[in-house]
Structure 1
Amino acid sequence: MDKTVWKPSKRIIESSNIYKMMQHYGFDEYKDFWKWSVANKETFWEATVKNLEIKLAQNYTSIVDTSKGVENAAWLKNSKLNIVDSCFQNEDNETAVIFQEEGKSLQKITQKELLKLVNQIANGLQDLGLKEGDKIAINMPMTLEAVAIYLAGIKAGMPIVTIADSFTPNEIEIRLNITKPKVIFTQDVLKRGEKELPLYQKVVDANAPKTIVIKTSKEKFDLRKEDVFLDTFLSSKTDFNTVIQNPEAIITVLFSSGTTGAPKAIPWTHTTPIKSASDGYYHQDIHKNDVVCWPTNLGWMMGPWLVFASLINKASIALYYGTPTDANFGQFVQDAKVTMLGVIPSFVKYWQSSKCMEQFNWNAIQCYSSTGEVSNPLEMNYLMQLANNKPVIEYCGGTEIGGGYITSTVVQPNIASTFSSQALGGEFILLDETNNKTKKGELFLIPPIMGLSNTLLNSNHYDVYYKNTPKYEGKLLRRHGDQLEQLENGYYKMQGRVDDAMNLGGIKVSSIQIEAVINKLSFVKESAAIAVAPKEGGPSVLVVYYVENSSKINVEERFQQAKDSIKNKLNPLFKLTDLIKIEILPRTASNKVMRRKLREEYLK
């Protein structure tokens, strides 16, 4: 077991948000406080809504109503609100967003200035004739404009469909067809160092609806006749009356990998961000006027998480427009005085091998947080030392949770690559293959938990998460698909997935999506894609086994074709590590491919 590398001082414990709550309810031990938070969910979430100062236009009659079953829990029953109002409760002149374009200097925008831009966009949407309930899509990097557009749509009662900027036209089109937005916002190009990658053109190739384009390049180019630049679209009107809605109104639609190949369209409601902000408040210990940086995109749940966990907690969002793997990002973290830095383990691996971040003073960082992939203890220990020994809050959850189910805290000893606690206000159980409680097995959530999804746009929600799940002590359990191990000291380690989903480069994708692309190659009869966790820990690598269709193409050419196909049809961030020919794929009696057996075979 890894040794403890960070222990909280009395000062750190006593200045934490968790400690304030523990004091209020008379707890000395964190473990007792967590138990209380799940045994008294109503009291815990009621206090949390108060701590976060969630702004309600009409108060709730009960914090949660489970009269239609825990799987249909109604939070903030009978209240009226718009969660965006809770994002603008700091002083007008405090910094809301710190941002830096590649090669340019650091810029800051106050809460008052951000609200003005949000209102101009919201008015612009209404000027287009859009009304409450109409969907808007965003396919662009995480910029100041992206944050403002995101908040503006929600403020106007128009659900935001978020699509990651790394997707191919085919993947963008699939998501547009599922959600049918009236307009989409994008950029002309995506700048990556000296390169300019087309973004508007990808959206056009995806047969997108009316597109509003942010111009970032000096190059001239023509728009389709129905499309406009953001400058033309923006209203001059800087006031806007927030559209007040029911708590269960959809504010955003995110996509997660489905095991059928089609992405699951997961709606977030006005109550989902309360879970994001709650985790940020307790677990990442975000305080007023902190600076929160997490390189991400609105297309992944950490994008919306970053917006809500920062702004609801009255902290600044720090956005760097370049890549997070080079020294310029390190300079930005130093200059922006980032206090909470979020990472995916792949970044840290690169920072360690290049040593590019060692020159900077990151001492303003109070804690890190890591998500998206399984981390490696050696790399996480290295990360901790970059800020003069600061803890890493390991954090794992899901788009359909609105945050994490397992995490760490700043009030407990920090052990690299382990989780010290189930998330406050939520509970899970580990079961073995015979549905008995175990220390190493499949994780099942115990609803209700604030933030858990109740609907899917393109699937039956009950079938996906609850159908045929075992009961535990008479309680309905919710499927999630992760495998965990609880260690002797009570901490947890991630053991990968039980289903056919995988995390590649911090992005969840199903095996079936990859196999569908590989199976179209001329030399492939059938295939099986697996994610393999290295023995020493760290991010999973993508391996594909295939049964051959007779072909004269050589091994190198086959690998290149498979690699290009995944890159061009799915996502350039999915890197193929190995392509292996096999005589026959191992199958169960019911003809399902035994991917677990292939993983075991590969690791021999």
Structure 2
Amino acid sequence: MSENTEALANLSHEDRRFPPPAEFAANANLTAAAYEEAATDRLGFWAKQADRLTWETRWDEVLDWSNAPFAKWFVGGRLNAAYNAVDRHVEAGAGDKVAFHWVGEPAEDARDITYAQLKDEVCQAANALVELGVRAGDRVAIYMPMIPETVVAMLACARLGAPHTVVFGGFSADALASRIEDCQAKVVITADGGYRRGAASGLKPAVDEARTKARQNGISVEKVLVVRRTGQEVAWDDAVDVWWDDLVGKQSTEHACEFFDAEHPLYVMYTSGSTGKPKGILHTTGGYLVGAAYTHWGVFDLKPETDVYWCTADVGWVTGHSYMVYGPLINQTTSVIYEGVPDAPHKGRWWEIVEKYGVTIFYTAPTAIRTFMKWGDEIPAKHDMSSLRLLGSVGEPINPEAYVWYRETIGGGRTPVVDTWWQTETGAIMISPLPGVTEAKPGSAMRAIPGIVADVVNDEGESVPDGSGGYLVIREPWPSMLRTLWGDDERFKDTYWSRWEGMYFAGDGAKKDADGDVWVLGRVDDVMNVSGHRLSTTEIESALVSHPKVAEAAVVGATDETTGQAVCAYVILRESAGFEAGSDSADLVKELRDHVAHEIGAIAKPRQIMIVPELPKTRSGKIMRRLLRDVAENREVGDVTTLADSTVMNLIAEGAKGSSED
């Protein structure tokens, strides 16, 4: 076993087991038989799942894999994503059913939106975009808070066949500009601002700045459609800017949608890449919707007639796409959307919402769960959460203690927990317990769901035996898989398909335990997972070095009790910075942290920045991040024999003792 796979085999022993409640198992959507059905005829199984959707033209072939790794699913089929999400439910008589209970952060803001209302608003927004010149194939960037218009905007784009790219509202103008430039967005949809911890924060100013930056690089945004959310004063360009209410509000609620090929692009979602340049993950329509709808129905055991479902993810991330918008709407679900953060206006806000709306299925990230643990059991204890029947975890591996706390304190000791593994690239859940089948182990994603063929392999691409660690791969194509990277087929092949022929690998390590169940161990490359968000070390290093006082920087992800991983940076200053060794670095560290937040976004702000005289490098000049991780995690520093100067680690370790953190 190589050094890499040996490192991936580390895993504490876990003896606790949670079988599904008998009543849950008796009524489960997916039973143990689904594993055998999918294994016997995988493509036939996916064809059956595709029947959840309404197709204007049925497909001729389930999968064309003749030009691997460029898949075509449901070849010849034609459909429309927005029609599947809203129109067909209204036509079926479910127009009065609530699609979303929307809750704003200010306590007085709340709105219930029925499927009929949602359909009308989507048609109005689609007509408005047509008036702005948007046609099938044009790209539209969406930079919004968690408000109903965000979902409306996504579905309006999908209705027109205009691929959307949703950019997380916490990202900076630079990050937004890079995404606008890469996909050449014709229109940007935004808001004056949003609410966060009781205060209005601006969004339109970042769009203005991003538009200027994009124009300098030859990309011209034609129109900016602005929702009035906070009433903030914003700069205005009459030639470009349009108020949502003024344009959308006057449109007809009728819009005849066009049906598109199953492989028509639905959206581009940018995720960090190891080169520092964000990767535009392309998802197409048919296969993606099949994957999102099937997994939402099966993994969450959805009963649309009675369930109230809440995925807490921001729509700027893929979880918000698959499990807040597309999956739930296709399955005619009643969902909750919440605009704000968990502790505004108080630390029990989420549980207050669960109680008020009778939430039955709750899906959130381990970061949030660990934060709630830190706040104490007495906060959730004040609320009646007996409506909950299933809990889910997403974004990163959940540690067993957080899993058990979640199940016992939030789920009352009676709810199954589905610990789901998947990625932006996979589009939908790949590995998860089935809540009516699996005897769950805290901390384990358990096994691939029916229809997915996942494995853990060694450096040679061979399956590792039970009890061993290696690299997590998917051996067979699946409907919701990314089709390519926007504008870069070669990078798509190199990034995901070059390590082992015919196998998808996106950088996670995993272990099979003695039973063959999968434990995901996190990234094996230099992309960090901070609060479920993937951030590139290279991107953050580039931001630090762009500061005039910084000569060089190295960034690592260090284990963090709250966020899973935290950004830790080591910085060598320029001589012109005038910083003397041993002097107080607090002000400079704050300046650098704020600089990273400005360049990339607050999520990338380093927890810790250490001013160091040198970085640990091999003779070839490669930075040994493994050693920096040892320092950041207060471990004994590992083997330094390959370093050009082994004494450098003593200086770094010494300097770390006086490092500043927030």
Using the size of structure 2 for normalisation, the TM-score is: 0.84
Shift of 1:106: 4.1
What is the CA–CA distance in structure 1 between the aligned matches of 2:78 and 2:451, rounded to whole Å? 23
SS at 2:431 equivalent: strand
Q: Which residue does the alignment assign to 2:418?
A: 393
What is the CA–CA distance in structure 1 between the aligned matches of 2:278 and 2:311, rounded to whole Å? 24
Paired AA for residue 171 in structure 2: F
The reply on whether 1:570 has 2:591 as its aligned counterpart is: no
Q: Could you say if the C-alpha distance between residues 39 and 261 of structure 1 is closer, same or farther in structure 2, counting changes exceeding 3 Å? A: farther
Q: Could you say if the C-alpha distance between residues 39 and 59 of structure 1 is closer, same or farther in structure 2, counting changes exceeding 3 Å? A: same
Shift of 1:231: 1.0
Q: Could you say if the C-alpha distance between residues 344 and 598 of structure 1 is closer, same or farther in structure 2, counting changes exceeding 3 Å? A: same
RMSD over aligned CA atoms reads: 2.2
> Structure 2 matches for 1:144-159, cutoff 5 A?
144-159=148-163
What is the CA–CA distance in structure 2 between the aligned matches of 1:282 and 1:48, rounded to whole Å? 10
Q: Tell me if structure 2 keeps the 8 A contact 1:322–1:329.
A: no
What is the CA–CA distance in structure 2 between the aligned matches of 1:301 and 1:219, rounded to whole Å? 29
SS at 1:293 equivalent: strand
Shift of 1:18: 0.4
Paired AA for residue 59 in structure 2: Y
Q: Could you say if the C-alpha distance between residues 506 and 282 of structure 1 is closer, same or farther in structure 2, counting changes exceeding 3 Å? A: same
Report how many aligned residue pairs link the two structures. 585
Q: Could you say if the C-alpha distance between residues 464 and 338 of structure 1 is closer, same or farther in structure 2, counting changes exceeding 3 Å? A: farther
Q: Which residue does the alignment assign to 1:307?
A: 325
SS at 1:126 equivalent: helix
Shift of 1:153: 0.9
What is the CA–CA distance in structure 2 between the aligned matches of 1:523 and 1:307, rounded to whole Å? 44
Q: Which residue does the alignment assign to 2:644?
A: none
Q: Tell me if structure 1 keeps the 8 A contact 2:497–2:503.
A: no
Q: Tell me if structure 1 keeps the 8 A contact 2:193–2:230.
A: yes
Moved more, 545-554 or 418-427: 545-554
> Structure 2 matches for 1:6-155, cutoff 5 A?
6-19=18-31, 22=32, 27=33, 33-34=34-35, 36-50=37-51, 53-69=52-68, 71-88=69-86, 89-90=88-89, 91-101=94-104, 102-104=106-108, 106-155=110-159
Paired AA for residue 315 in structure 1: T
- Cα shift readout 1:519-559 (whole Å, capped 9, x = no counterpart): 2345533222111225x797112211234544426322332
Shift of 1:379: 2.0
SS at 1:416 equivalent: coil
Q: Which residue does the alignment assign to 1:405?
A: 430
SS at 1:509 equivalent: strand
Q: Could you say if the C-alpha distance between residues 291 and 189 of structure 1 is closer, same or farther in structure 2, counting changes exceeding 3 Å? A: same
> Structure 2 matches for 1:185-264, cutoff 5 A?
185-207=189-211, 209=221, 210-225=223-238, 226-234=240-248, 235-264=250-279
Paired AA for residue 275 in structure 1: G
SS at 1:362 equivalent: coil
The reply on whether 1:487 has 2:502 as its aligned counterpart is: no
What is the CA–CA distance in structure 2 between the aligned matches of 1:416 and 1:253, rounded to whole Å? 34
Shift of 1:84: 2.1
What is the CA–CA distance in structure 2 between the aligned matches of 1:17 and 1:107, rounded to whole Å? 31
The reply on whether 1:348 has 2:369 as its aligned counterpart is: yes
Residue 296 (structure 1) aligned to one of 306, 309, 313? 313
Q: Tell me if structure 2 keeps the 8 A contact 1:373–1:538.
A: no
Moved more, 515-524 or 345-354: 515-524
> Structure 2 matches for 1:239-388, cutoff 5 A?
239-270=254-285, 271-289=287-305, 290-305=307-322, 306-325=324-343, 326-355=347-376, 356-385=379-408, 386-388=410-412
SS at 2:553 equivalent: strand
What is the CA–CA distance in structure 2 between the aligned matches of 1:67 and 1:299, rounded to whole Å? 33
What is the CA–CA distance in structure 2 between the aligned matches of 1:436 and 1:546, rounded to whole Å? 40
Paired AA for residue 594 in structure 1: M
Shift of 1:4: 3.0
- Cα shift readout 1:357-386 (whole Å, capped 9, x = no counterpart): 221112222212111233222222222122
Q: Which residue does the alignment assign to 2:641?
A: none
What is the CA–CA distance in structure 2 between the aligned matches of 1:160 and 1:538, rounded to whole Å? 29
Paired AA for residue 95 in structure 1: V
Paired AA for residue 79 in structure 2: L
What is the CA–CA distance in structure 2 between the aligned matches of 1:435 and 1:282, rounded to whole Å? 30
Paired AA for residue 96 in structure 2: N
Q: Could you say if the C-alpha distance between residues 582 and 404 of structure 1 is closer, same or farther in structure 2, counting changes exceeding 3 Å? A: farther
Shift of 1:291: 1.9
What is the CA–CA distance in structure 1 between the aligned matches of 2:272 and 2:514, rounded to whole Å? 33
Paired AA for residue 526 in structure 2: D
What is the CA–CA distance in structure 1 between the aligned matches of 2:44 and 2:485, rounded to whole Å? 29
Q: Could you say if the C-alpha distance between residues 425 and 467 of structure 1 is closer, same or farther in structure 2, counting changes exceeding 3 Å? A: closer
Q: Could you say if the C-alpha distance between residues 14 and 207 of structure 1 is closer, same or farther in structure 2, counting changes exceeding 3 Å? A: same
Paired AA for residue 261 in structure 1: G
Paired AA for residue 308 in structure 1: Y
Shift of 1:513: 0.3
Shift of 1:203: 0.8
What is the CA–CA distance in structure 1 between the aligned matches of 2:440 and 2:381, rounded to whole Å? 22
The reply on whether 1:515 has 2:541 as its aligned counterpart is: yes
What is the CA–CA distance in structure 1 between the aligned matches of 2:521 and 2:618, rounded to whole Å? 22
What percentage of aligned pairs have identical amino acids? 22
Shift of 1:348: 1.4
Q: Tell me if structure 2 keeps the 8 A contact 1:371–1:394.
A: yes
Q: Which residue does the alignment assign to 2:568?
A: 543
The reply on whether 1:556 has 2:586 as its aligned counterpart is: yes
Using the size of structure 1 for normalisation, the TM-score is: 0.92
Shift of 1:480: 1.0
Paired AA for residue 47 in structure 1: K
Shift of 1:404: 2.4
Q: Tell me if structure 2 keeps the 8 A contact 1:286–1:310.
A: no
Shift of 1:489: 3.0
- Cα shift readout 1:170-191 (whole Å, capped 9, x = no counterpart): 1111111111222111111111
Q: Tell me if structure 1 keeps the 8 A contact 2:283–2:483.
A: no
SS at 2:456 equivalent: strand
Shift of 1:494: 2.1
What is the CA–CA distance in structure 1 between the aligned matches of 2:574 and 2:233, rounded to whole Å? 47
Q: Tell me if structure 2 keeps the 8 A contact 1:280–1:309.
A: yes
What is the CA–CA distance in structure 2 between the aligned matches of 1:275 and 1:251, rounded to whole Å? 14
What is the CA–CA distance in structure 2 between the aligned matches of 1:170 and 1:78, rounded to whole Å? 39
SS at 1:408 equivalent: coil
Q: Tell me if structure 1 keeps the 8 A contact 2:371–2:562.
A: no
Q: Could you say if the C-alpha distance between residues 588 and 272 of structure 1 is closer, same or farther in structure 2, counting changes exceeding 3 Å? A: farther
What is the CA–CA distance in structure 2 between the aligned matches of 1:516 and 1:256, rounded to whole Å? 16
Moved more, 566-575 or 225-234: 566-575
Q: Could you say if the C-alpha distance between residues 597 and 450 of structure 1 is closer, same or farther in structure 2, counting changes exceeding 3 Å? A: farther
Paired AA for residue 230 in structure 1: W
Q: Which residue does the alignment assign to 1:30?
A: none
Q: Could you say if the C-alpha distance between residues 46 and 129 of structure 1 is closer, same or farther in structure 2, counting changes exceeding 3 Å? A: same
> Structure 2 matches for 1:427-442, cutoff 5 A?
427-438=453-464, 439-442=468-471
- Cα shift readout 1:375-431 (whole Å, capped 9, x = no counterpart): 222222222122212222111211111012222220212222211211321122222
- Cα shift readout 1:15-72 (whole Å, capped 9, x = no counterpart): 11102xx5xxxx3xxxxx435524522111012112xx21100011111122223x12
Q: Tell me if structure 2 keeps the 8 A contact 1:4–1:413.
A: no
What is the CA–CA distance in structure 2 between the aligned matches of 1:38 and 1:556, rounded to whole Å? 58
